[in-house]
Amino acid sequence: MSRKKTVDDYLIDIAYWQDELLVLRRILLSTDLTETIKWGMPCYTHDGKNIVGMAGFKSYFGLWFHQGVFLSDPEKVLINAQTEKTKALRQWRMTSTDDIKAELIEKYVSESIEHSLAGKAVPKSAPRRLKMPPLLETALIDDAELRTHFEAFRTAQKCDFADYISSAKQDATKQRRLEKIIPLIQSGIGLNDKYK
């Protein structure tokens, strides 16, 4: 049985921003938060509720406040990276150690904990409904084995596949996306499993 991934593993494996993430980690561990791994990345909780996560990407590293929509954000450092999709999550992107302001981070964490203790949270949206794009529906009708594999997924995973194809504007892109997801479906791998 394989060992569960730790934050140390994440920091060793990440290709970018290791030193900067170590600084953020020290700041977060100095607060009343508990460190864990969720969605393959470091997540910091309070009384079992997600407060803030951290991650490094190619062009930036940063913090993700799970209910950041409630933060007063006096320094205007928070952004909503996906305005059509994200309701509660707010990101604080950084590109150098100069961007790491320990006292300010601690204030944002403290405010986030206060909101969590007060029960502030954006209500979860209604479950997604599966809207099957014709291209995927045809592929499933033409291939009974593919349909069997597809039906084994949870509704949210089916929606991920369907939305991935539907969101393409051009027919050629829809076709390429279908060709990309067929091997995933056949292998029982969800489109977004690598992020979980």
Which residue ranges make up each domain of the chain? Answer: 7-117, 134-195
User: Tokens representing 81?
Assistant: 């990276």
What proportion of the chain, given as a percentage, has pLDDT over 90? Answer: 74
- pLDDT class of 2 with cuts at 50, 70, 90: low
Three-state DSSP class for residue 3 = coil
Residue range 7-117 forms a domain whose CATH class is alpha beta
Pick the closest to residue 157 from 123, 139, 181 (CA basis): 181
Summarize pLDDT for 78-113 with one digit per residue, the tens. Answer: 999 887 778 899 999 999 999 999 999 999 999 999
User: Tokens representing 86?
Assistant: 């994200």
pTM of the model: 0.68
The residue-averaged pLDDT of 71-79 equals 95
Q: What is the DSSP string of 134-195?
A: HHHHHHHHH-HHHHHHHHTS-HHHHHHHHHHHHT-SSHHHHHHHHHHHHHHHHHT--TTGGG
